Structure formats: C-alpha cells, structure tokens
Amino acid sequence: MIRAGIIGVAAAIAVAAVGGAMATAAPEPKPTLATSLQPVSAFATIRDRDARSQALFAEVGKVLQHPRCLNCHPATDRPTQREAMTPHMPMVVRGDGGIGATALRCTTCHGPANYDVSGVPGHPAWHLAPPEMAWAGKSLGQICQQLKDPARNGGKTMPEMIEHMKSDTLVGWGWKPGGKRLPAPGTQAEFGALFEAWAKSGAVCPA
C-alpha cells in the first residue's frame, strides 16, 4: 500500500511537471519573412541583361515563396495554413478542381470574403492550385520554370501570366489576408511590375 502510494505521488508529480513545462514553453518562433519589395528601378544599374532578369525574379520570389502563396500551392493534396505552414485544420484535401472533397468543400467554411469575426479567410474563387502548380518545397529556380511552362501554369502565355499576377483578385488576396495573417510583401502593383519587368528582360530563371 505504501509503495503504491509513493508510485502514485511520483506519477502525479511527473504529470504536473510535464504540464507545467507545456504551460511555460516558449511560443513557436515565427519565420522571418520579407515585408517590402524593391521597385523595378532598383535593378536598372545591373547592366548584364541575364543577371538583371535573375535579380528581378529573386525579388518576385519574395512573394511566390511567402506562406500566403505557398499555403495554397502545397506539395501534397492537403493545404497548409498560417505563417508556419502547418497542415490545414480541419483535415481537408484538394479534391476535384481544387475545391475540396465532396463531403467537405472549401465553401463549407470559406465564404466569398474574409470573415473577421472568426478569422476565416475567404474569396469568391477560393480553391487550391492544381498538383502541377505545386510550389512548396521547390527551389525558386524550379518555380520559375513552372511559371514559364503552359503545361504547369494553367495553360497561360507569358502575357497572360503577367496579367494574372497584376490583376487576379485571388492573387491579390495575399495582400489583404485578414485576421492576424501577415500579408505578402509590398503590394500587388509592385509585384506585378516586377514580374512584368522580369518577363520583358528575357524571363531568365535563377539556377
């Protein structure tokens, strides 16, 4: 009886210690993300055309590799969320057309606009990018090659890609994400101008 009591007390102390450690654990550090973009004019002094094109795309990459973009261009059929890019909760999958599985469509929770009361983001065209447009886990050079390939960019020509980046409102959501989410760096106008300048400088991809 005495031994059982001692074991029980020890177990209680251990549980309390673990609970205390969990309660006092430091919050998960947030990744360092870009908050601004350099203007196109900042690259005018780079005389070598290919080098200038690559430098422009590196600046574009601050947006493309930001969680606001990568969360909806996931490496798997499950989207990610938040700046830490943790798996989407509740558990959802891409489904046909990127709008979720039949029993749990994206529109079950995501409305046509951000819902500030709950913090749930929204847009009329809310959906995941198709598998061939997955960017997460890829290098900037690999993403660049995808954007130039109609088989992996939604069938778009380069002029259509430029317009998409400059004007598409779902792309633009990245700068107006609502809640406590960090927006993509710069503005959509700055991003679109950088993308267009890259395309017109030869669309050279980083190595």
Residue 2 lies in a domain: no
pTM here is 0.84
Residue 77 lies in a domain: yes
Residue 15 lies in a domain: no
Give CA 6 to chain center in angstroms. Answer: 52
What is the spatial distance between Cα 20 and Cα 1, in angstroms, rounded to a whole number?
28
- Count of structural domains, the chain: 1
SS3 104: strand
Confidence band, pLDDT 50/70/90 cuts, at residue 206: very high
pLDDT of residue 32: 81
Residue 206 lies in a domain: no
Residue 22 lies in a domain: no
- For the four alpha carbons of 113, 37, 136 and 201, in that order, the dihedral sign comes to positive
Whether the pLDDT of residue 146 is over 60: the answer is yes
Residue 17 lies in a domain: no
pLDDT of residue 31: 55
Instruction: Provide the residue count of the chain.
Output: 207
What is the spatial distance between Cα 125 and Cα 35, in angstroms, rounded to a whole number?
25
Picking from 94-103, 161-170, 191-200, which range would have the lowest pLDDT averaged per residue? 94-103
Residue 7 lies in a domain: no
What is the spatial distance between Cα 85 and Cα 88, in angstroms, rounded to a whole number?
8
Summarize pLDDT for 73-128 with one digit per residue, the tens. Answer: 999 999 999 999 999 999 999 999 999 999 999 999 999 999 999 999 999 999 99
pLDDT of residue 169: 98
Summarize pLDDT for 15-65 with one digit per residue, the tens. Answer: 333 343 333 444 444 558 999 999 999 999 999 999 999 999 999 999 999
pLDDT of residue 19: 41
